[in-house]
C-alpha cells in the first residue's frame, strides 16, 4: 500500500458522521453504518467480522466474556439439565417452549419424516466407498431440493415449516446411511418407536444379524451434545446459511452450504482434528512436547479443541460436557490410551501461562470428540454429528431471515489491493 493510501485513511478518520445506534434487548449496541458509504465515501474494514453484527436475531444470545449462552432466553445450563434435543429444536424454531400437546405433535411430525427417499440410496451408492461422510452429507442434503422440489416455495410458511421438519428428521438417517455405506454395511431404516438419539445410534450400529446392546448413557450423552451444539448465533456456518439464504436460495441448498462451512478445522471440523492431534501426540509422555510446539508460532501447530472466537473466559458448553465426558468414560468403562493423552493435555494446558494469558480453554469440541470416541463413533463422523445438531439452529435462522421483511442480499465490499488501471499488452510484447 502506498503513502497516499495511508493519507486517505487519515483523512477518512477525521470525517464526522452521525450514526444511529441499533439496540437489542441485551448486549452491546451496534452502530448502523448502512449509510456510511453514501455519506462519506468510505467503507468499514472488518475482516473476520470482529466488530460487525450482520443481522437482528431473536434466537440465541451469547456473552463471550461472561460465558453466557441462551436459546430464546433460556440459559444453556437449564436446557441441558431439563430439556431434550427435540424440545430444544422446537424452541429454536418457534420461540417458545412447547406445551405437552405441541411437543407431542412436533415429535410425531419429526418421527414420521425420518425415512429417506428410496432413490437417495442409489444417489449415495454413486459415491466411491471411501468418500468422507461430510462430503456425502453435504451433497445429499443439497440433493433434497431435487427430491422435494415441489415443496420449496420459500414464500410459503407451510413449505418453510415442512422443510424444517424434513431436515431435522432426515439428517440422522442420511448421516447414518453415509457412514454405513463407507464401511460396506447395509443401510438401516429408522425405527420410529425409539427416541431421536437412540434411533440414530441404532441406524449407526445395528446389524441385521443380532440385537444392539446400547447403554442408556450413550443416548443421554448424545442428546446432551445435540442440545449444546443446536445453535450458536452467527457462527461461520450459520452466517453461511444466512448469506446463501439472503439470495432467495431454497432451505436445502442453504443448509448444504452451512454443512460445507462447518467442515473446516477452525469450526466444526475441530472435533475430528482433536482426535487426529491426539493420535499424532501418541502417548502421555509426548504431551509436554506438544504443548511447547503449540506455543511456538513457527511450528504452525495449534492445540485443536482449545480457544474460541467468542468465549474468552470459558466455554459454558465445555463446562457442561466435561462432566458428561467423565460420566461416559466411567459408565462405559472405557480405557483408551488416546483418552489418557486427552486428559493429560487438558491438565497441562490449563496450568500453562501461555494458555492462561491468552484465555485459551478447552472448547466444547475438545470434549465432544472424546465422548464420540468413547461411543465408538468413528472420527470422520464427528463433524457429521455436529451437523445433525446444528441443523436445528441453521433452519431456525433461515426461517427467521425469510420472515424478516427488510432482508437484503448479503454483499460485503472489499479494500482492493490489486494493480491499478493499465493497458492490455499483446502476448508477443509481454
> Which residues sit at the interface with ligand ACO, rule CB under 6 A?
266-268, 270, 294, 302-309, 358, 360, 363-365
Nearer to ligand ACO, 153 or 347 (CB): 347
Q: Which position among 267, 283, 296, 336 bears the catalytic label?
A: 267
For residue 302, count other CB atoms closer than 10 A to its CB. 18
* Position closest to ligand ACO via CB: 307
Helix (H) / strand (E) containing 75: strand 74-75
Tell the smallest beta-carbon distance from residue 238 to ligand ACO (Å). Answer: 11
- The 3-state DSSP class for residue 30 equals strand
Pairwise CA distance, residues 17 & 34, whole Å: 12
Nearer to ligand ACO, 79 or 110 (CB): 79
Let me know: does 259 contact 82? Beta carbons within 8 Å: no
365 is catalytic: yes
Q: Which helix (H) or strand (E) holds 118?
A: helix 118-125
Instruction: Retrieve residue 420's grid coordinates.
Output: 491499478
In terms of CB distance, is 302 or 344 closer to ligand ACO? 302
Q: Which is nearer to ligand ACO, 277 or 395 (CB)?
A: 277
What 3 state SS string does 268-322 have? CCHHHHHHHHHHHHCCHHHHHHHHHHHHCHHHCCCCCCECCCCCCCCCHHHHHHH
Continuous segment of H or E residues that includes residue 68: strand 68-71
Inter-residue contact 246 to 408 (CB < 8 Å): yes
The whole-angstrom separation of Cα 84 and Cα 70 is: 15
- Which one, 191 or 358, has the nearer CB to ligand ACO? 358
Closest contact distance (angstroms) between CB of 421 and ligand ACO is: 35
User: Residue 137 or residue 163: which is nearer to ligand ACO going by CB?
Assistant: 137
Supply 166's cell numbers.
424434513
**Pairing outcome for strands 68-71 and 30-31:** unpaired
Q: Measured from the CB of residue 321, what is the shortest distance to ligand ACO in angstroms?
A: 11
What's the closest the beta carbon of residue 410 comes to ligand ACO, in angstroms?
21
Q: Which residue do the cell numbers 415441489 mark?
A: 150
Grid coordinates standing for 380? 470422520
CB of 66: closest distance to ligand ACO in angstroms? 17
Q: How far is CA 131 from the centre of its chain?
A: 21
Q: Is-catalytic flag, 308?
A: yes
If the CB atoms of residues 170 and 302 are measured against ligand ACO, the closer one turns out to be: 302
Residue 27 backbone class (left: φ over 0; alpha: ψ -120 to 50; beta: rest): left
Supply 175's cell numbers.
448421516
- Report which of 267, 221, 264 is spatially closest to residue 373, judged by C-alpha positions: 221
- The gap between the terminal CA atoms of the chain, to the nearest Å, is 25
Q: Which is nearer to ligand ACO, 148 or 306 (CB)?
A: 306
Distance (Å, whole) CA 308 – CA 346: 15
Residue 53: count of CB within 10 angstroms of its CB: 17
Decide if 120 contacts 147 (C-beta within 8 A). yes
**Cβ 309 to ligand ACO shortest distance, Å:** 4
Catalytic residue among 308, 340, 353, 397: 308
Question: Closest separation between CB of residue 133 and ligand ACO, Å?
Answer: 18
Give the SS3 label for residue 62.
Answer: strand
- In angstroms, what is the minimal distance from the CB of 264 to ligand ACO? 9
Q: Select which of 365, 397, 406, 423 is catalytic.
A: 365
Q: Which residues does the annotation mark as catalytic?
A: 267, 308, 365
Amino acid at each position: 500500500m502506498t503513502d497516499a493510501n495511508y493519507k486517505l485513511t487519515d483523512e477518512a478518520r477525521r470525517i464526522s458522521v452521525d450514526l444511529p445506534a441499533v439496540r437489542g434487548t441485551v448486549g452491546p449496541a451496534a452502530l448502523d453504518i448502512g449509510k456510511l458509504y453514501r455519506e462519506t465515501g468510505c467503507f468499514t474494514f472488518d475482516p473476520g467480522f470482529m466488530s460487525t453484527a450482520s443481522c437482528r436475531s431473536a434466537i440465541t444470545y451469547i456473552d463471550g466474556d461472561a460465558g453466557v449462552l441462551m436459546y430464546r432466553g433460556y440459559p444453556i445450563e437449564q436446557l441441558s439439565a431439563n430439556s431434550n434435543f427435540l424440545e430444544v429444536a422446537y424452541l429454536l424454531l418457534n420461540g417458545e417452549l412447547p406445551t405437552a400437546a405441541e411437543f407431542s405433535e412436533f415429535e410425531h411430525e419429526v418421527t414420521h419424516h425420518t425415512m429417506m427417499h428410496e432413490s437417495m440410496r442409489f444417489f449415495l451408492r454413486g459415491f466411491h466407498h471411501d468418500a468422507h461422510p461430510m462430503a456425502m452429507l453435504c451433497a445429499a442434503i443439497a440433493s433434497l431440493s431435487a427430491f422435494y422440489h415441489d415443496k420449496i416455495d420459500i414464500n410459503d410458511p407451510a413449505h418453510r415449516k415442512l422443510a424444517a421438519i424434513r431436515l431435522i428428521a432426515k439428517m440422522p438417517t442420511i448421516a447414518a446411511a453415509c457412514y454405513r455405506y463407507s464401511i460396506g454395511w447395509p443401510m438401516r431404516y429408522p425405527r420410529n418407536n425409539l427416541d431421536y438419539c437412540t434411533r440414530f445410534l441404532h441406524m449407526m450400529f445395528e446389524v441385521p444379524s443380532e440385537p444392539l446392546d446400547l447403554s442408556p448413557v450413550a443416548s443421554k450423552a448424545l442428546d446432551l451434545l445435540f442440545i449444546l451444539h443446536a445453535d450458536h448465533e452467527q457462527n461461520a456456518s450459520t452466517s453461511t446459511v444466512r448469506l446463501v439464504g439472503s439470495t432467495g436460495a431454497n432451505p436445502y441448498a442453504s443448509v448444504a452450504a452451512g454443512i460445507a462451512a462447518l467442515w473446516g478445522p477452525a469450526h466444526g471440523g475441530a472435533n475430528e482434528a482433536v482426535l487426529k492431534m491426539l493420535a499424532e501426540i501418541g502417548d502421555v509422555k509426548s504431551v509436554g512436547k506438544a504443548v511447547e510446539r503449540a506455543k511456538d508460532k513457527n511450528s504452525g501447530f495449534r492445540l485443536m479443541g482449545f480457544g474460541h472466537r467468542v468465549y474468552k473466559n470459558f466455554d459454558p458448553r465445555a463446562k457442561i460436557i466435561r462432566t458428561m465426558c467423565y460420566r461416559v468414560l466411567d459408565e462405559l468403562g472405557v480405557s483408551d490410551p488416546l483418552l489418557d493423552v486427552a486428559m493429560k493435555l487438558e491438565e497441562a494446558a490449563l496450568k500453562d501461562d501461555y494458555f492462561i494469558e491468552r484465555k485459551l480453554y478447552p472448547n466444547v469440541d475438545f470434549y465432544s470428540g472424546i465422548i464420540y470416541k468413547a461411543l465408538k463413533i468413528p472420527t470422520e463422523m464427528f463433524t457429521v454429528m455436529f451437523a445433525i445438531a446444528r441443523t436445528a439452529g441453521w433452519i431456525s435462522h433461515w426461517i427467521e431471515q425469510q420472515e424478516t421483511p427488510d432482508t437484503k442480499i448479503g454483499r460485503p465490499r472489499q479494500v482492493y489491493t490489486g494493480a491499478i488501471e493499465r493497458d492490455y499488452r499483446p502476448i508477443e510484447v509481454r
